[in-house]
Structure 1
Amino acid sequence: MRTSIATVSLSGSLTEKLTAASRAGFDGVEIFENDLLASPLAPEEIRARCADLGLGIDLYQPLRDIEAVPEEEFTRNLRRARHKFELMRRLGADTVLVCSSVSPSAVDDDALAAEQLSRLADLAREFGIRVAYEALAWGRRISTYDHAWHVVETAGHPSLGTCLDSFHILSRGSDPKGIEDIPGEKIFFLQLADAPLLAMDVLQWSRHHRCFPGQGGFDVAGLVRHVLRTGYSGPLSLEVFNDVFRQAEAGPTAVDAHRSLLVLQETVGLAELPAPVVPTGVAFAELVTPDAEPVAEVLGALGFARTARHRGKPVDLWQQGEARVLVNTGPAARRDGTTLAAIGLESPDPAAAARRAEALLAPVLPRRRAAEDAPLEAVAAPDGTELFFCATDHPELPNWRADFEDVPGAGPGTAVTGVDHLALVQPWHHFDQAALFHRSVLGLAAQESVDVADPYGLLRSRAVAAADGSVRIALSVGPAPADDTVHAQHIALATDDVVAAARRFRAAGGALLPIPANHYDDLAARFDLTDGELATYRELGILYDRDAHGEFRHCYTRTVGRVFFELVQRDGGYRGYGASNAPVRLAAQHAARRLTGG
């Protein structure tokens, strides 16, 4: 089906929005009136610009407060509409959105509303225009889609149909099944938006918190299925009001928007994409650093050993158990310190995983490699993290490990068994994009967002994981645009005995993050831990949590650059990430940063 996006969903000038929509692969746009009014281009120039970009103008929006008003006011409304229809003819748009009235002068009279909308449609027909009538969730008299359809049906005008908007329908809790009673040819337009499930005024919810399908809590796919059963064949169009999207760069937002529609079409059976290839483990985590020594000190204290070096690049492989960390001191090293730049994901079919990623608009990364290097597939996540699809020790697939030559030295320790999870701090405007990307491209299941108290605001976090827990990635974002440079990324390392691992780390010269004593007083009140356990946890800075499935013990190293390590012990099937302890950890890291001046 055709895909479209409302210009209000993107930031920038109208020209910038149109360019972004075209490059992202959209077929058309809804032109929001304010964008046209603020543009220096004449309607004819906008029409030509859209044609050059391969975009149709699927809708002009909106006309407001038109129907069910006193005759004198309706006469003025028709005069206003005539001007807009003349403009639309110059623009080349043939469908106009009319929102249900929120005017105080609107009266509760469906017959009057139908009669006046019919007269509006008579005028529109003179210009070759169709009128799509939409129920706003906060409409003064008409606020539900079935009520709006009743008025349209009563009017019985061929140039008058309805516009369905997923936000207005689902935010009110309306049952979308009734959509199937509307003839498909009378659904003139379909607007789509998701949203997080919030308890707030619906107008504020709509104006500030909409998101693209798959990023919120609404069953947008279920609604679309009902619409398709009517025979609707018009565009799938996104109308998303979101404060973050309006400030983010238009290009990446448009790509994310189009990705959401591709996934939606796959879900409802309108498109066939390469099937997801869920990763089965973490092959490696790659740190890029201008100075390998501080990283090497921490890794060595954790029990890792430098076991190999890349044949042609300044990249060392540190390993312990199934946990592998690459330390890259090449040209990509950032001046602001160590960063977690790339992740190797074990895949049963790396080529198919890459095809899935490319089909969902993930940028394929070119690699500088020698002829003998393993041909690894790699794409970029929204935050710029490089994702490599790997097959370690697979007898029939290229093995990235073959690019490294073993180096002599002491063997690794045995405290760490593998990577428990990775935590990636997202740029302020990429959080929703990241959740959709990891869910749709990698096939990971997304948990609900969690708000974590930070001493200087709220940190949002959302985890994505494979069903068996073999891959876990915690995505987070701070409360302000610059906050992604404050909070650090981290690698959580699995251990069977976090107390023993912490003691070994400290004995080897490692510095654990000190945790305030008040936390342990609270643990004593919340859990039935023995005095000995509490004393040990207090001594080592170990935090504790419990859920219905098991227990979680974890502690943290000091931060190196923008990265720190976490030692994690999961017992009995614990499923979380210690979110209840995150405020204590964040406060302790802020305190440590002040002491070191970092």
Structure 2
Amino acid sequence: MRTSIATVCLSGTLEEKMLACAKAGFDGIEIFEQDLTVSSSSPEEVRALAARLGLSLDLFQPFRDFEGVDQDTLQQNLHRAEQKFKLMQRLGMDLVLLCSNVATATINDDELFAGQIRQLADLAAGYGVRIAYEALAWGKYVNTYQHSWKIARMVDRENVGICLDSFHILSRGDDPADIAGIPGEKIFFVQLADAPVMSMDILSWSRHYRVFPGEGGFALDDFMAQLVRSGYDGIVSLEIFNDVFRQSNVVHTAVDGLRSLIWLQDRTLQLMQDEAERYPLQLTALPRAQAPNGFDYAEVRTEDPEQVAAMLSQLGFGFHGQHRRKPVQLWKAGDARIIINTQRSRGITAQVSGFGIQVDDDALAAQRARALRAPRVPRHQTGDEQALAGFTAPDRREVFFSRAAVTASWEEEFGVGAPAAEPGLVTGIDHINLAQPWQAFDESVLFYTSTLNLQANAGTEVPSPMGLVRSQVLRTGDGIVRLALNIVPQGLEAAIERNHEYPEHIAVATDDIVLLARRAIAAGMEFLPVPENYYEDLAARFHLPEPVLQTLRELNLLYDRDERGVFLHFYTATVGNLFFEVVERRDGYDGYGAPNAPVRLAAQFERNRLAGR
């Protein structure tokens, strides 16, 4: 499948966008007219640069507000179009996007639409130009792909077909099933966009909130399946209007876009199974996705390992040993492994720098990550050390794959540390909460779901003293691996770099949180204080017995309950950008204590404020 992307998706100059698209691995690009208009390069220079980069120039767009007008306006539109056709010749392009009229149409008549577009087609034929007619979701008279296809048939010219845009179809709730009945050769171009499910006017939704496939809520695999069934064998492109993307690193965004198309091809093949082989559009399959078996470890980077080590010891972790060659420690409790890494840590008080995932076949998992354009982590090891495949996520976290035998091997590199004084109560890592820079959030969602085979839960928003925190949970179906991504409110991105104000954490599980909390307090652990108002509200909401409430107050424990079970948890004090959470899930509770998140965020904010006096 040939891939393309509209230059409007990306930040930077036209030349920077072209370089990024080539570097990411796209086959071609759509030239958005405004990008060319403001460029210092002539059309001939743009054409030559594309040739040097190996990029095809696939679509010139957009040509707006043409049909449904009076005769005088039509003549003006034809003059305007002819100038664009001449420009396209200079660029070496032969396909233009004609959007359905949204502003100047005054006559609602399909015969008139077809007749005027027929005149445009005859003019375009003299310049070797084809026309892809697209129904905009907010078009004045033509706003569905079925209608645009009807008009294209009425035009009856070889150089007129349609453009299908997933956003314009799915945002209206239209069924894409009729696409399968359109002859593939009359579908001249296809544009894809995903979007979060939102309740707002379609135009604003389209102009600001589109995202790449896999980062929103549209069923794009079904859309693609209908496209495949049509017999289409052309270019599949991305057209994303997104305020964040147009402010973000152009190369990262381009790679994210191509990753989304690679992922979508694989999802479509899974949906169609053997059926896809009957059709001309060739989709590429990814190496098989594996269900993670659990967290292998979580890694904390810090220039002062003693603070983090003390907290782990208070929680019942035992020191397993120092790496025989590197300034790295391993701490263990139950199935939970925490690595404290002081490499490249100057100025870092403490932060979650990465984690490992256990799978059945780590080599296959690494192949899938590479196919999804995940950048490799440069890692050096001696001949007697375990080789691990690691990749850098968009949020700069390092993610490594392992399997049980490999874990046993790399653990041996740490020797044997001092045994714990008494049996620990921590059973494993429950989840990891990662703060996300605002410009990396959507990219991180796609990266973690596609490379780790996680499912994305519905996003939520949590109020905090710093603004609304957007949160997205990614997890396996059985909950053995859970990641919570929290987007840093725009304007506070530097909070992560300052290693305070916007913390993230590692949550560990226990079967007896009360006993663990008492032991931790006896060992000198400082918990995040919970205000009395919280417990008064808790009593009103859940009618808890006074002895239970008293225990919660005494230990600064938080409580939640749903139809499935009970959730108890507490938070440690924050060191740098890091704190730990201890959780106990009872009777099938599967959430994260979401009603308590504002309490935690407010308490941490107040603590940091007082510490900064």
Q: Which residue, 369, 375, 391 being the options, matches 2:381?
A: 369
Where do residues 258-407 of structure 1 align in structure 2 (5 Å cutoff)?
A: 258-269=258-269, 270-330=283-343, 332-392=344-404, 394=405, 399-407=409-417
Q: Does 1:550 align with 2:565?
A: yes
Q: Does 1:458 align with 2:471?
A: no
**CA-to-aligned-CA distance 1:264-302 (integer Å, 9 cap, x gap):** 111122212111122211121111111112112211211
Inter-partner Cα distance in structure 2 for 1:327 and 1:177: 53
Inter-partner Cα distance in structure 2 for 1:411 and 1:389: 32
Inter-partner Cα distance in structure 2 for 1:552 and 1:355: 38
Inter-partner Cα distance in structure 1 for 2:28 and 2:419: 61
**Displacement after TM superposition at 1:408 (Å):** 3.4
**Displacement after TM superposition at 1:482 (Å):** 3.0
Which residue is 1:123 aligned to? 123
**Displacement after TM superposition at 1:412 (Å):** 5.9
**Displacement after TM superposition at 1:104 (Å):** 4.1
TM-score (norm: length of structure 2): 0.95
Find the residue that maps to 1:373 and give its secondary structure.
Answer: coil
**Displacement after TM superposition at 1:597 (Å):** 1.6
Which residue is 2:575 aligned to? 560
Where do residues 226-237 of structure 1 align in structure 2 (5 Å cutoff)?
A: 226-237=226-237
Inter-partner Cα distance in structure 2 for 1:319 and 1:427: 30
Contact 1:64–1:98 (CA under 8 A) maintained in structure 2: yes
Which residue is 1:418 aligned to? 428
Contact 1:391–1:399 (CA under 8 A) maintained in structure 2: no
Inter-partner Cα distance in structure 1 for 2:123 and 2:228: 30
Find the residue that maps to 1:441 and give its secondary structure.
Answer: helix
More moved, 277-286 vs 252-261: 277-286
Which residue is 1:23 aligned to? 23
Q: CA distance change for structure 1 residues 445 and 501 in 2, over 3 Å: closer, same or farther?
A: same
Which residue is 2:7 aligned to? 7
Inter-partner Cα distance in structure 2 for 1:152 and 1:325: 62
**Displacement after TM superposition at 1:334 (Å):** 4.1
Aligned AA for 2:487?
A: V
Where do residues 141-152 of structure 1 align in structure 2 (5 Å cutoff)?
A: 141-152=141-152
Identity %: 50
More moved, 539-548 vs 493-502: 539-548
Q: CA distance change for structure 1 residues 121 and 497 in 2, over 3 Å: closer, same or farther?
A: same
Aligned AA for 2:63?
A: L
**Displacement after TM superposition at 1:99 (Å):** 0.6
Where do residues 507-522 of structure 1 align in structure 2 (5 Å cutoff)?
A: 507-522=522-537
Where do residues 37-76 of structure 1 align in structure 2 (5 Å cutoff)?
A: 37-76=37-76
Contact 2:69–2:104 (CA under 8 A) maintained in structure 1: no
Aligned AA for 2:130?
A: R
Inter-partner Cα distance in structure 1 for 2:52 and 2:106: 42
Aligned AA for 1:287?
A: V
Across the aligned residues of Structure 1 and Structure 2, the Cα RMSD in angstroms comes to 1.4
Contact 2:65–2:104 (CA under 8 A) maintained in structure 1: no
Q: Which residue, 506, 514, 534 being the options, matches 2:521?
A: 506
Aligned AA for 2:447?
A: F
**Displacement after TM superposition at 1:10 (Å):** 0.7
Q: CA distance change for structure 1 residues 501 and 398 in 2, over 3 Å: closer, same or farther?
A: closer
**CA-to-aligned-CA distance 1:127-161 (integer Å, 9 cap, x gap):** 11101111111111111111111111111111111
**CA-to-aligned-CA distance 1:207-237 (integer Å, 9 cap, x gap):** 0000011111111111111111111111110
Q: CA distance change for structure 1 residues 344 and 5 in 2, over 3 Å: closer, same or farther?
A: same
Aligned AA for 1:228?
A: V
Which residue is 1:160 aligned to? 160
Which residue is 2:85 aligned to? 85
Contact 1:320–1:412 (CA under 8 A) maintained in structure 2: no
**Displacement after TM superposition at 1:407 (Å):** 2.7
Which residue is 2:612 aligned to? 597
Inter-partner Cα distance in structure 2 for 1:123 and 1:499: 80
Q: CA distance change for structure 1 residues 334 and 545 in 2, over 3 Å: closer, same or farther?
A: farther
Where do residues 483-498 of structure 1 align in structure 2 (5 Å cutoff)?
A: 483=493, 485=496, 486-498=501-513
Q: For this pair of structures, how many residues does the alignment match?
A: 595
Which residue is 2:279 aligned to? none
**Displacement after TM superposition at 1:343 (Å):** 0.6
Find the residue that maps to 1:492 and give its secondary structure.
Answer: strand
Find the residue that maps to 1:371 and give its secondary structure.
Answer: coil
Contact 1:306–1:318 (CA under 8 A) maintained in structure 2: yes
Inter-partner Cα distance in structure 2 for 1:539 and 1:200: 46
More moved, 274-283 vs 556-565: 274-283
More moved, 477-486 vs 148-157: 477-486
Inter-partner Cα distance in structure 2 for 1:14 and 1:84: 18
More moved, 462-471 vs 5-14: 462-471
Q: Which residue, 590, 597, 604 being the options, matches 1:582?
A: 597
**CA-to-aligned-CA distance 1:404-446 (integer Å, 9 cap, x gap):** 1113354464121111111111121111111111111111111
Inter-partner Cα distance in structure 2 for 1:381 and 1:364: 9
Aligned AA for 1:559?
A: T
Q: CA distance change for structure 1 residues 412 and 137 in 2, over 3 Å: closer, same or farther?
A: farther
Find the residue that maps to 2:383 and give its secondary structure.
Answer: coil
Inter-partner Cα distance in structure 1 for 2:237 and 2:418: 60
Inter-partner Cα distance in structure 1 for 2:23 and 2:577: 33
Find the residue that maps to 2:290 and give its secondary structure.
Answer: coil
**Displacement after TM superposition at 1:187 (Å):** 0.7
Contact 1:305–1:413 (CA under 8 A) maintained in structure 2: no
Aligned AA for 2:354?
A: A
More moved, 265-274 vs 54-63: 265-274
Contact 2:317–2:420 (CA under 8 A) maintained in structure 1: no
Which residue is 2:553 aligned to? 538
Aligned AA for 1:378?
A: G
**Displacement after TM superposition at 1:20 (Å):** 0.8
More moved, 184-193 vs 497-506: 497-506
**CA-to-aligned-CA distance 1:557-583 (integer Å, 9 cap, x gap):** 011111100010011111111122111
